[in-house]
């Protein structure tokens, strides 16, 4: 993987952000705190990130002219989501540094390539198999066993594009329903807990990991994160080591999230990597209020060519997502002592839509 071009911003320089959701919004606010400007590119005129920057580009990701103008107005480019179209990233990268390196997207946009990459590093994952037909699905089930999870190789998130297969299910029907030509079958992991590590890496190889986070999902959507995770120090160190190894192997610049399962092994609990998100991550939102530096600031520092911070956690932290209608309870949350409320400025609270989050910090622990 080629070295990213050396970037060194100064206060007043401009960062281009692809994507206008809450992640882009919080990235832009972190950049502003450091005296850096942002320009946000998003096809959605109601993008929450537009509200916190002076300059925005509302255009499709395939709009070459808009991409070129955008690149001309910024000093470095980053993104809030991993599904940046490869062609768009290539157009931008020809004009300005894109960080993290766009080649990383090729690995993380494809569940199969991602799993292969992780395994090559000697890091454990669920057993998996490439599936490109109903027949291949039958063969994969025979190899991996049931229950198992079939996932599209591309463009899945929050449980979309995946189905559990159990004994008695009809592989032909499941394959037809999935409506894809490229999928991956993964062994179903009876995990004890789900954890994640948010790691930042600078261009000169400094890596800083936040404390390991324990995550609870509801309907495949993150509901609660707790820090520190209820695991041993040794296992936490191992999880951070895995994230560091991945970041180094990708020659990564910016923040990435590694989602892991804790499972019972022969000699006690062990970890398996579930997936990599090459971006700031919902399970790192607690860092905004629960640490001396946030994941958003670490990402901005990394892509600006500034030194990373050494995060100091303020206490035991709980982050609760406000999903769909739950956001209507914001006034109640405002009255909870020590709770910090974040609302993303999204219009309609559709079911499953992440509308905001709340952080609670218990100090002295």
What are all long-range contacts of 343-346, with beta carbons under 8 Å and residues at least 24 apart?
A: 344/21, 344/22, 344/25, 344/48, 345/25, 345/48, 345/51, 346/22, 346/46, 346/48
Applying CB under 8 A, which of residues 54, 65, 122, 266 lies at the interface with a second copy?
54
Ramachandran bin of 345, using left for φ above 0, alpha for ψ from -120 to 50, beta for the remaining angles = left
Instruction: Find out whether 364 is annotated in a ligand binding site.
Output: no
Cβ pair 355, 322 in contact under 8 A: yes
342 binds a second copy (CB under 8 A): yes
110, 153 contact by CB (below 8 A) = yes
186 binds a second copy (CB under 8 A): no
Site string for a second copy, 22-51 (x = CB under 8 A): ---x---x--xxxxxx------------xx
Residue 334 as a binder of a second copy (CB under 8 A): the answer is yes
Give yes or no for a contact between 265 and 232, defined as CB atoms under 8 angstroms apart.
no
For a second copy, which is the closer residue by CB, 111 or 301?
A: 301
Q: Which of 133, 232, 264, 363 is close enough to bind a second copy by CB under 8 A?
A: 363
Distances in whole angstroms, Cα of residue 115 to Cα of each of 161, 256, 273: 17, 16, 9
Could you tell me how many residues of this chain bind a second copy (CB under 8 A)?
47
57 vs 88 by CB, closer to a second copy: 57
The helix (run of H) or strand (run of E) holding residue 256 is strand 254-265
**Cα–Cα distance between 73 and 51 in angstroms, integer?**
18
Beta-carbon contacts of residue 212 (< 8 Å; ≥ 6 apart)? 195, 196, 197, 227, 228, 229, 231, 236, 239, 240
Residue closer to a second copy, measured from CB, 37 or 153: 37
CB of 186 to a second copy, least distance (A): 37
Q: Please, which residue, 107 or 202, has the CB nearer to a second copy?
A: 202
351 binds a second copy (CB under 8 A): no
Exactly one of 265, 292, 325, 350 binds a second copy (CB under 8 A); that residue is 292
Eight-state DSSP code of residue 291: B
One character per residue 200-229, x = contact with a second copy (rule: CB under 8 A)? ------------------------------
CB nearer to a second copy: pick between 281 and 346: 346
Annotated binding residue at 143? no
21 contacts a second copy (rule: CB under 8 A): no
Per-residue x/- track, 310-329, a second copy (CB under 8 A): x-x-xx-----------x--
Strand partners, 162: 151
Span from 53-61, 74-82, 117-125, 139-147 in contact with a second copy (CB under 8 A): 53-61
The minimum distance between CB 73 and a second copy, in angstroms, equals 14
Assess contact for 163 and 175: CB atoms under 8 A: no
**Residue 181 C-beta-side C-alpha neighbours within 13 Å:** 0
Q: How far apart are CA 188 and CA 176, in angstroms?
A: 21
Q: Are 29 and 38 in contact (CB under 8 A)?
A: no
User: Which residues contribute to the annotated binding site?
Assistant: 111, 151, 156-162, 186-189, 194, 217, 274-275
Instruction: Indicate the annotated binding residues for ATP.
Output: 111, 151, 156-162, 186-189, 194, 217, 274-275
- Interface ranges with a second copy (CB under 8 A): 11-12, 25, 29, 32-37, 50-54, 56, 289, 292-293, 301, 306-307, 309-310, 312, 314-315, 327, 330-331, 334-335, 337-347, 356, 361, 363-364
């Amino acid at each position: 993987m080629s070295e990213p071009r050396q970037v060194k911003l100064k206060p007043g320089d401009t960062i281009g952000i692809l994507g206008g959701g809450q992640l882009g919004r919080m990235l832009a606010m972190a950049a502003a705190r450091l005296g850096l400007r942002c320009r946000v590119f998003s096809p959605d005129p109601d993008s929450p990130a537009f509200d916190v920057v002076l300059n925005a580009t509302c255009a499709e990701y395939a709009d070459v002219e808009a991409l070129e103008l955008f690149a001309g107005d910024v000093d470095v480019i980053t993104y809030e989501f991993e599904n940046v179209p490869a062609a768009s990233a290539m157009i931008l990268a020809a004009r300005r540094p894109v960080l993290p390196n766009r080649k990383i997207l090729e690995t993380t946009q494809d569940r199969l390539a991602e799993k292969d990459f992780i395994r090559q590093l000697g890091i454990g994952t669920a057993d998996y198999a490439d599936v490109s037909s109903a027949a291949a699905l039958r063969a994969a089930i025979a190899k991996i066993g049931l229950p198992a999870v079939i996932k599209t190789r591309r463009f899945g998130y929050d449980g979309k594009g995946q189905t559990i297969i159990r004994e008695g299910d009809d592989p032909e029907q499941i394959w037809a329903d999935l409506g894809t030509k490229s999928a991956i079958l993964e062994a179903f992991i009876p995990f004890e807990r789900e954890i994640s590590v948010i790691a930042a890496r600078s261009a000169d190889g400094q890596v800083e990991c936040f404390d390991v986070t324990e995550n609870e999902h509801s309907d495949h959507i993150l509901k609660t994160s707790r820090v520190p995770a209820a695991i041993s120090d040794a296992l936490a160190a191992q999880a951070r080591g895995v994230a560091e190894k991945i970041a180094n192997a990708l020659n990564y610049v910016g923040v990435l999230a590694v989602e892991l399962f804790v499972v019972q092994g022969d000699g006690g609990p062990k970890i398996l990597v579930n997936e990599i998100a090459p971006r700031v991550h919902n399970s790192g939102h607690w860092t905004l209020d629960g640490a001396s530096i946030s994941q958003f600031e670490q990402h901005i520092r990394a892509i600006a060519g500034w030194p990373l911070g050494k995060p100091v956690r303020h206490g035991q932290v709980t982050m609760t997502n406000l999903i769909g209608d739950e956001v209507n309870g914001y006034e109640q949350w405002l009255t909870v002592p020590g709770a910090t409320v974040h609302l993303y400025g999204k219009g309609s609270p559709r079911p499953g839509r992440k509308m905001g989050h709340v952080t609670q910090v218990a100090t002295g622990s």
